Amino acid sequence: MRIAIAGAGLAGLSTAWLLDPLHHTVLFEPQERLGGHSHTVTAEVDGHETPIDLGAQHISPTAFPALANLLDAVGLTQDLIPVPLSTTLQVHDAATGRPEVLLAGPHTADPGWPRTPVLGAAAGSLTALVTRAAEWETRDVSWERSLDELIEPLEVPRDHKDRLLYPLLASFVGCDIAEAREMSARAAMAFVLRVPPASPDTAPLWHNLKNGLGSLTTALAADLHHGEIHPGRGVDHVRRGRDGLDIIDTRGHHHHVDRLVLAIPPGEAARLLEPLAGTSAVCAALGTFDYVDVTVTAHTDPTYLPADRRHWSTNTITVHNGWSETTTWYGPINGAQAFKSWTTHRPQPPREPLADATFRQLRLTPAAIRARDVVGQAQGDGGVHFAGHYLQDIDSQESALLSAIATTQRIAPDSPRLTDMLTRAPHASDPPEKG
Ligand SMILES: Cc1cc2nc3c(=O)[nH]c(=O)nc-3n(C[C@H](O)[C@H](O)[C@H](O)COP(=O)(O)OP(=O)(O)OC[C@H]3O[C@@H](n4cnc5c(N)ncnc54)[C@H](O)[C@@H]3O)c2cc1C
C-alpha cells in the first residue's frame, strides 16, 4: 500500500516507522525541521554544547511503557538520564511586586547544594489534592468531571486553591488560571499522579534523553527503508480519487495514495477534511479541542528563580497577573546553568536568550473528552485515519505514540515492527539509575 502521512511529530514519524518496511509511506511536514512539539536546540553554555528541549522534555520508562519500548527498539535506552523533578511555586505579591515562595517541594539530596524545602500549610493543601485525585483514579471517576469539581470541595484555605492548586495545574498547559478550572480533572492531575516520589523527602524521578528528544526524531527518520520524508511541504488539500485519495502538497505536487493518516493538530485536520462529503460530524468534533498559544525561551538568566538559591527547584512556577509560568533549570539535569522558561506573559523577557519557539498546548476539557468518541468512530472512513496526542489519555509523548500504534493496528496489523513493539518485554533494557 502507498500511505500518505501528514505531520512529522512523534505520532506521524512513529506511524511511518511502524508501517516500514511493509508499506511505502510518504510523510509531509510544512516545517523544515522534523519533530513537531519535540524540538531540541543545542546552545553553547559556559563553553559546552548543551541540548535544550524547547518543547516536550520529560518522559518516564514506567509511566510511558510504549515509549520505553520504542527507545529500546531504536537503541536509545542508554541515553535516558534521571531527572529529579522538584517544584517551587512562587507568587508575585501585587502590593510589593516581589515574589513570595509559597512552596518548595523536596529535592533529592545533593551535597554540593544546600537546598532547603519550604513546606508548611501549602504542602498540606497539595497533599489533600493529590490524595483526593488518587481516590478519583481508584474509583475511575469520569474524565468528563472538571477540575473545579475536584478542587472546590477540598477543605483547604481559599487562598491555597487560588494561589497554589489552580496555578500549579494551569502551568502544565500554559492556560490562564481561570481557564484551568474547566479542564478535565483526571487529565490535569495525571502528570502528578503517574510518577509519585519514592519517599516523602525526594522529588518524583522523571527522565530526559541526554541529547534531547530530538535524538528520537532523528533515529526514527533514519530508520525508514521504504519511506519518503518531505520537510518543507505540508498537505495543502485532499480529494477523493478513483481507488484512493489525491493529496496536493503545498508546492502543488499531486500524490495518489491508498490511505491517508492525519497526524496533525485537530483544527488543521478539520480544515483538510471539510471539503469532503460526509465529514461534517468529525470536523465538528475535531473543532472541539482547545489549544493555548505559548512561547518557550531557552536562556541563561536566573531572573525567574527565587532570590535564595536554597529554594531553587528543577521546575519553578511563577504566579503573576492571572498566569502561572514554569522555568526549568538544567542544573539538576546535566549541570548546565541554562534555563527553559514559558515566557508568553512574563512582564520582562529573559536577559540572555539562546533560542525560542512557539507551540500550541492542548487544554483538555470534558467536551474534548466526549469528542474523542466521534473521531474514533470516523477512523478509517474513506481511507482517512487520525493519529496524534489529542486522541487518548493526556497530552504526552506516550499518547502520541499509542495513537500511532492504534492506527498501525488498523492499517497493517501484520507489520513486523508493530508485532515487535507489542510483544517486546517492558523495559527490555533498563535505563541507568541516578548516581
Ligand atoms: C511546550 C510543550 C511541552 C511539552 N512537554 C511535554 C513533556 O515534557 N512530556 C511529554 O510527554 N509531553 C509533553 N508535551 C506534549 C507532547 O509534546 C505532545 O503530546 C506530542 O509531542 C505531540 O505529538 P504529535 O505528533 O501528536 O503532534 P505534533 O508534535 O504537534 O506534530 C504535528 C505536526 O503536524 C505538522 N502539520 C501541521 N499542519 C500540517 C499539514 N497541513 N500537513 C502536514 N503536516 C502538518 C506540524 O508542523 C507538526 O510538525 C509538551 C508539549 C508542548 C507544546
* DSSP secondary structure letters along 123-182: HHHHHHHHHHHHHHHHTT--TTSBHHHHHTTS-S-HHHIIIIIHHHHHHHHT--HHHHTT
Q: What is the pLDDT of residues 282-330, one digit of tens each?
A: 999 999 999 999 999 999 999 999 999 999 999 999 999 999 999 999 9
User: Nearest residue CA, atom 18 of ligand 1?
Assistant: 396
Q: Specify the ligand 1 atom closest to the Cα of 390.
A: 26
Same-domain status, 109 and 257 = no
What is residue 433's DSSP assignment?
A: P
Which grid coordinates belong to 19?
A: 508501517
Question: How far does residue 8's CA lie from ligand 1's centre (Å)?
Answer: 9
Residue showing cell 533514519 = 222
Same-domain status, 198 and 166 = yes
Same-domain status, 310 and 410 = no
Does residue 83 carry a pLDDT above 80?
A: yes
Q: Specify the ligand 1 atom closest to the Cα of 294.
A: 1
Same-domain status, 115 and 174 = yes
Is 20 inside any structural domain? yes
Hey, which of 71, 80, 264 would you mutate to test ligand 1's pocket, going by the most ligand atoms within 8 Å of its Cβ?
A: 264
pLDDT average, residue stretch 47-62: 97
Same-domain status, 121 and 243 = no
Q: pLDDT category, 430, cuts 50, 70, 90? A: low
Residue showing cell 474514533 = 376
How far does the chain reach from its first CA to its final CA, in angstroms?
48
Does residue 425 carry a pLDDT above 80?
A: no
Ligand 1 neighbourhood includes 306 CB (under 6 angstroms): no
Is 75 inside any structural domain? no
The confidence score (pLDDT) of residue 434 equals 42
What is residue 233's DSSP assignment?
A: B
Q: pLDDT category, 435, cuts 50, 70, 90? A: very low
Question: How far does residue 389's CA lie from ligand 1's centre (Å)?
Answer: 7
* CA gap 35, 214 in Å, rounded: 7
Q: Specify the ligand 1 atom closest to the Cα of 11.
A: 25
Which grid coordinates belong to 383?
A: 481511507
Ligand 1 neighbourhood includes 57 CB (under 6 angstroms): yes
The confidence score (pLDDT) of residue 427 equals 54
The confidence score (pLDDT) of residue 21 equals 86
Residue range(s) defining the domain that contains residue 193: 80-209+290-363
Ligand 1 neighbourhood includes 396 CB (under 6 angstroms): yes
Same-domain status, 317 and 375 = no
Q: Within a 10 A sphere around the Cβ of 413, how many other Cβ atoms?
A: 10
Ligand 1 neighbourhood includes 10 CB (under 6 angstroms): yes
What is residue 237's DSSP assignment?
A: E
pLDDT average, residue stretch 234-240: 97
Q: What is the pLDDT of residues 362-392, one digit of tens each?
A: 999 999 999 999 999 999 999 999 999 999 9
Does residue 429 carry a pLDDT above 90?
A: no
Is 264 inside any structural domain? yes
- Mean pLDDT (the chain, rounded): 94
Q: What is the pLDDT of residues 399-408, one digit of tens each?
A: 999 999 999 9
Q: Specify the ligand 1 atom closest to the Cα of 37.
A: 29
Hey, which of 213, 230, 389 would you mutate to test ligand 1's pocket, going by the most ligand atoms within 8 Å of its Cβ?
A: 389
Query: What's the number of CA atoms in the CB half-sphere (13 Å) around residue 44?
Result: 1
Closest CA to 248 of 21, 15, 28: 28
Does residue 343 carry a pLDDT above 80?
A: yes
User: Nearest residue CA, atom 11 of ligand 1?
Assistant: 396
* CA gap 307, 49 in Å, rounded: 27
Same-domain status, 314 and 378 = no
What is residue 362's DSSP assignment?
A: E
Same-domain status, 281 and 308 = no
Out of 363, 380, 411, a domain closes at: 363
Number of folded domains in the chain? Answer: 2
Q: What is the pLDDT of residues 93-142, one digit of tens each?
A: 877 778 999 999 999 877 778 888 888 899 999 999 999 999 999 999 99
Same-domain status, 282 and 418 = yes
Question: How far does residue 9's CA lie from ligand 1's centre (Å)?
Answer: 5
The confidence score (pLDDT) of residue 426 equals 63
Same-domain status, 219 and 203 = no
Rg (CA), the chain: 22
Q: Which amino acid is at 246?
A: D
Same-domain status, 342 and 415 = no
Does residue 4 carry a pLDDT above 80?
A: yes
Q: pLDDT category, 431, cuts 50, 70, 90? A: low
Residue 258, domain CATH: 3.50.50.60
Is 70 inside any structural domain? no
